[in-house]
Structure 1
Amino acid sequence: MRRMWFKTTLAAAIAAVSSPVIANGLAINEQSASSMGTGFAGRSSAVLDASTVYGNPAGMSRLDRTEISGGLALIDASTDIRDARGALPGSNDGDMVPFTPVPFGYFVTPLNDRWHAGFGVYVPFGVISDYENASQGRYYGEYSSVRVVTFQPTLSYRINDRVSVGFGPTINRIDGKLTRAVAFVPPTTPVALPDGRVSILGDDIGYGFNAGVLVDLNEDLSWGLTYRSKVDYTLEGRTKASGFPGPLAAANGQYDAQLDFTSPESVDTSLTYKLDDYWTLYGGLTWTRWSRLQEIVVENEAAPANLARIQEEQNWSDTWSFAVGASYQLNPSWVLRSGFAWDRSPTTDADRTVRIPVGNRKVLSLGAGWRLSDDITIDAAYAYLHEDAAEVNEPAYQAEYRNSAHGVSTQLTYRF
């Protein structure tokens, strides 16, 4: 009887977070170049353009004209794998994250003196990772691609001159793909047979909402609070197994797969303080309920016993992140920005996996806004992310991951 190291789940396609984007866990922060310049500090209290649809829906009430704003962030990540140890041979090249684009777009228009309507399209969660075929950790993850695209129609209401509220339902489409190798090791020899392969696909549409409140505490100080709800998904797709040898060949084939997954709710609160005609200061805190991700179970219909029901522990915990930033109004046309953010990993050395090799993150960002005219503004930002060393401790593979990333984002806003 051959011993088969086989542990694969559609869950991993959702829990995969190898890409060091600016936010931790599954979250992506790149929904605005103007906010990226200050490290996303003040995101729920500063209204810079139509991207407030995401940052704080209540902020739409501060926009005097119709605005269209859209842009693109580009993430160039690097991973250095050190001290790798495993029961089976393989390489450890690292740098498994492709150059990744993250688009976004928004529209806001006033309906009257109190009501505004808006719409946003953005990516709140996502990852793509692609290890080399001979990676030593390929038995725990080889290729992963997960993306959530959100559509958000939104309304805001100005209660009085100081207080506004906003609300927007979210329609969220999630899709994912996972592949991994499967090793078959005869007990009489240390030489492995050729790898088998498992590929998993799944998708679903889930519904949630974003809500916010924005308060001008005085002429110079604003406070904002944004709540983003959880979203429940039931992903349906298929599991495909191939290359299983000998008596295990009966497992080769395709099976209908199903996974229940809940993305976490979060609360973002921040302050914006206009120090004088030149300087504005920002500070913010974000809480994310990552403890929703304790375990993930995949059901494979009509599959053999070893594929029928797979359960994978995650044991994630809730996290707090903080950011501080500042902007300097150089002249009527140009504003300069800078920020710093710290974001804790939701997982630990005991539970971190090849698909989740993230540690605590520090992010330094720089940005600028150029107002070409009263109607057109261009924003750009750069961020450098450095991550603490993170240990992966799989049953048959251990390694230390050192992750970093460069991110750039640009955005065009047109008012009419």
Structure 2
Amino acid sequence: MRSKLLALLGSAALTVGIANAGGYQVNLQGQKQIGMGHVGTGLALDQSSIFFNPGALARLRQNGVQVGISALTSKIAYREPSPGISEARTDNPMGTPFQVYASYGAAESPWRFGIGVYTPYGSTVTWGNAWQGRFGLNELTLKTIFIQPTVSYQITDKIGIGAGLVISTGSVNLQRSIPLIDASGREGHIELDGKAKTALGFNVGILVQPIEKLSIGLTYRSEIDATVEGGDVTFITPGAAPVAAQFTANQFDATLPLPDNITLGIGIMPTDKLTIGIDVQRVGWGAYKSLRFDFNGRVGQAPPVETTVSDAPRNYKDAYIYRIGAQYKVSDMLTVRAGGYYDQTPVRTGYLTPETPDADSRSVSAGMTLALSEKIDLDLSFSYINKKERTDLADKSGGVPGTFKSVAYIPGVGVNYKF
């Protein structure tokens, strides 16, 4: 029982199986960009360049503030390895990833200063207490917030550079059943709850416009380690006192890498009204080799064990996202958008878990901007993501063997104020 329990606890307590990005990354950082397949590295569309390419921010000659939010509805279905035996579906609450950006600079100055607040990782997965994989996961909630003060400089009328300091914070709550049953049939339960330490990273970029109808952008966002120290551990252990004595841990430490990203973007402007964006993004998932938990007490072990270490392999691989999108200015009041992307999964065969039942995914999206006045714009977006059905025995990670299928529906809205 000890080895089985440690394998279960070794599943990714800091990751979350959301259906809108490879691994556990959320790609919802700008409403205009969402409508165009989330392209934006080679373009200077609005203040969200703080995230997409700090080097593009200096090209914006107008100061502004923008606020956006998406309503993420995701569903994950599961089927046991033997067809027709049993199935399960998540009952996830709606997620609300958001973004806030503001920038300012003097009219004739080559400098622009900005700040962004956005949520690149976070959602909730709820499988419940009765599904077949409940010893792997009942419920998981991950929340992260990045704060990014940014500076951008227009070197010439064709070249802009920029950089931002990324300040990361967040929290996690994981609940799962324990394979212990009392006389009444009640199962054991564990809850892990912790707040990640504040961590630092950076975001740098350059935008070059060699000719009037072409722009090229390159950005790099650094890896950040999300570390929980002294997180709370709560056990419900049915049975007699000797059983409870095997579960004495009340705190845990763990670290999760939030991977680095490098993106090359191209903007093409065939006409004054039409803009096309193409991005290729490499996500450094190879940094996620394993997930280690250090507990300050026993987790299913009898004395003389006083502490427990659980180290579960993940062995993610670097993955690529290929994006394309376009916008067309119908009139001074209306701009319409459409796009899509293909996102490779970083999860190798044998390592699939119910927290991140990931697979290669395809997304299509659309959006529009309504100019309500000279100073106020309204952005609308909608994205649909469909992950390929994937069957995995999860024999290398202590996950839940079976077949998983994920989809997501994500409408969004944003307001831009220019001054």
TM-score (norm 2): 0.91
Aligned in 2, Cα 1:253/1:240: closer, same or farther, shift over 3 Å? farther
Q: 1:269-280, aligned counterparts within 5 Å?
A: 269-280=264-275
Gaps of 5+ in 1: none
The separation in 1 between residues aligned to 2:337 and 2:124, in whole angstroms, is: 29
The separation in 2 between residues aligned to 1:383 and 1:343, in whole angstroms, is: 14
Contact kept, 8 Å, 1:85 with 1:398, in 2: the verdict is no
Q: What one-letter code is carried by the residue in structure 2 that aligns with 1:255?
A: N
- CA deviations 1:245-286 (Å, max 9, x no partner) are 333211345522111332111101110100112221111100
SS at match of 1:62: coil
Q: Is structure 2 residue 183 aligned with structure 1 residue 183?
A: no
**Match of 1:144?**
140
**Match of 1:71?**
68
- CA deviations 1:126-156 (Å, max 9, x no partner) are 1310112111100011111112101111100
Percent of aligned positions with the same letter in both sequences? Answer: 23
Contact kept, 8 Å, 2:181 with 2:239, in 1: the verdict is no
Q: 1:281-292, aligned counterparts within 5 Å?
A: 281-292=276-287
Following superposition, the deviation at residue 46 of structure 1 comes to: 1.3
**Match of 2:18?**
19
The separation in 1 between residues aligned to 2:327 and 2:190, in whole angstroms, is: 50
**Match of 1:358?**
358
Following superposition, the deviation at residue 305 of structure 1 comes to: 7.0
SS at match of 1:34: helix
**Match of 2:161?**
165
Following superposition, the deviation at residue 62 of structure 1 comes to: 1.3
The separation in 2 between residues aligned to 1:195 and 1:351, in whole angstroms, is: 26
The separation in 1 between residues aligned to 2:51 and 2:369, in whole angstroms, is: 19
**Match of 1:255?**
250
**Match of 2:194?**
202
SS at match of 2:243: helix
- CA deviations 1:101-140 (Å, max 9, x no partner) are 1111010001451111000100011131011211110001
Contact kept, 8 Å, 2:176 with 2:191, in 1: the verdict is yes
The separation in 2 between residues aligned to 1:392 and 1:147, in whole angstroms, is: 27
Contact kept, 8 Å, 1:232 with 1:261, in 2: the verdict is yes
How many residue pairs match? The answer is: 405
Q: What one-letter code is carried by the residue in structure 2 that aligns with 1:55?
A: F
**Match of 1:331?**
331
What is the root-mean-square deviation of aligned Cα atoms in Å? 2.3
**Match of 1:54?**
51
Q: Is structure 2 residue 418 aligned with structure 1 residue 415?
A: yes
Q: What one-letter code is carried by the residue in structure 2 that aligns with 1:40?
A: H
Aligned in 2, Cα 1:273/1:253: closer, same or farther, shift over 3 Å? same
**Match of 2:304?**
none
Q: Is structure 2 residue 33 aligned with structure 1 residue 35?
A: yes
- CA deviations 1:18-37 (Å, max 9, x no partner) are 2212x211111111111001
Contact kept, 8 Å, 2:5 with 2:300, in 1: the verdict is no
Contact kept, 8 Å, 1:74 with 1:101, in 2: the verdict is yes
Q: What one-letter code is carried by the residue in structure 2 that aligns with 1:245?
A: G
Aligned in 2, Cα 1:332/1:372: closer, same or farther, shift over 3 Å? same
Contact kept, 8 Å, 1:154 with 1:167, in 2: the verdict is yes
The separation in 1 between residues aligned to 2:171 and 2:181, in whole angstroms, is: 33
1:223 pairs, out of 216, 223, 248, with 216
The separation in 2 between residues aligned to 1:113 and 1:3, in whole angstroms, is: 65
The separation in 2 between residues aligned to 1:392 and 1:212, in whole angstroms, is: 38
Q: Is structure 2 residue 106 aligned with structure 1 residue 114?
A: no
SS at match of 1:6: helix
Following superposition, the deviation at residue 356 of structure 1 comes to: 1.5
The separation in 1 between residues aligned to 2:27 and 2:38, in whole angstroms, is: 8
**Match of 1:297?**
292
The separation in 2 between residues aligned to 1:305 and 1:10, in whole angstroms, is: 13
Gaps of 5+ in 2: 302-306
SS at match of 1:100: coil
- CA deviations 1:315-372 (Å, max 9, x no partner) are 1100011011111111121111110100011103311111121110000001111112
Following superposition, the deviation at residue 59 of structure 1 comes to: 1.5
Contact kept, 8 Å, 2:383 with 2:411, in 1: the verdict is yes
Following superposition, the deviation at residue 95 of structure 1 comes to: 2.8
